[in-house]
Structure 1
Amino acid sequence: MFEKKYIFRLNEKLTRDEVLETVGNKFYHDGIVTTGFVKAIQQREKDFPTGMILEKGTNIAISHTDDKYVIKDRIAIIIADNPVIFKSIENGENDIKCNIFFVMALTKENKNEILSAMADLFENYEDILKKFPLMTDEEILDILL
């Protein structure tokens, strides 16, 4: 599900769509998703925003799209030096500046189980999530695997 090559550390300032394109193209070239994934995830983020503020104030987003574009389950972790703007999951209007977010390619068989596990991560491990920018990729994977 999680692999080191899908932990992206972004130094440059990018838009939400640019980041989704970068991750989606990597997934496509690695045989994780089919063509259409990038456009579908960008459109879904516009139609159903995923930016949220967790209980202790951490801003995150969990971008995903229809499983018809997914070949294998994978989750990318993006850690951005410059916040990437996502719209709020609550009202679709407020900007949420995210330094940590996830791009998920989930098959139908595993989608509900994985989303539940991710919700548990956000709810119970927010303090650790906040430390991701200071951690090595290996430390992050040790926590998630």
Structure 2
Amino acid sequence: MALIEENLILLDIQATDRNDALSQIAEHLHKDGFVKASYRDAIINREANFSTGLQTATIGVAIPHTDAEHVNTAKIAVARLQQPVTFQQMGDGQPVAVEMIFMLALKEPHAQLTMLQNLMTMFQNTEVMSQLIHAKTSAAVLAILNENNIN
């Protein structure tokens, strides 16, 4: 079963700040039953304590995730923001203007590690990141992700 579905790719959402963006994406996962009601608060709390922002050569991204106990079915939601919101950089806490969020709702620690490694590889590819930021449809984003082992 695919981790990313076309209906979990949200393009050009409007968010006032980091928590608003996280809430919108988490609610999308919740309404489809992939995560428990506790997931939204868990993801916001974890992001406040363990930042997941990352400045790539192309754009700022974030990879929020939380404990498997909040997940019903393993999925990944992807959101492209209309305007960047500020996250803190992994490691040093510096501000990052995030344009894309890859929200992981995974149940297996091993799967999470593998997915993080695949995402990091993709983030280093400036051509792929440019394609993602300019893709016109969710289907186009999904095809790019599949080509880069994000599935």
TM-score (norm 1): 0.88
Note the alpha carbon deviations across 1:73-117, whole angstroms, 9 max, x for none. 11111111210110111222x210011121110112522222222
Partner of 1:127: 127
Query: 5+ residue gaps in structure 2?
Result: 147-151
Question: 2: distance between equivalents of 1:132 and 1:115?
Answer: 17
1:66 aligns with 2:67: yes
SS at match of 2:85: strand
Deviation of 1:39 after TM superposition, in Å, equals 0.5
Question: 2: distance between equivalents of 1:24 and 1:11?
Answer: 13
1:2 aligns with 2:4: yes
Query: 5+ residue gaps in structure 1?
Result: none
Question: 2: distance between equivalents of 1:53 and 1:35?
Answer: 30
Q: Is the 8 A contact 2:11 2:138 kept in 1?
A: no
Deviation of 1:57 after TM superposition, in Å, equals 4.1
SS at match of 2:92: coil
Question: 2: distance between equivalents of 1:115 and 1:46?
Answer: 19
Q: Is the 8 A contact 2:86 2:98 kept in 1?
A: yes
Question: 2: distance between equivalents of 1:126 and 1:41?
Answer: 28
Question: 2: distance between equivalents of 1:80 and 1:130?
Answer: 14
Question: 2: distance between equivalents of 1:12 and 1:113?
Answer: 30
Deviation of 1:48 after TM superposition, in Å, equals 0.3
Partner of 2:47: 45
Question: 1: distance between equivalents of 2:14 and 2:113?
Answer: 33
Amino acid at match of 1:69: H
Partner of 1:84: 85
Number of positions where the alignment pairs a residue of Structure 1 with one of Structure 2: 142
Q: Is the 8 A contact 2:58 2:130 kept in 1?
A: no
Question: 2: distance between equivalents of 1:104 and 1:73?
Answer: 8
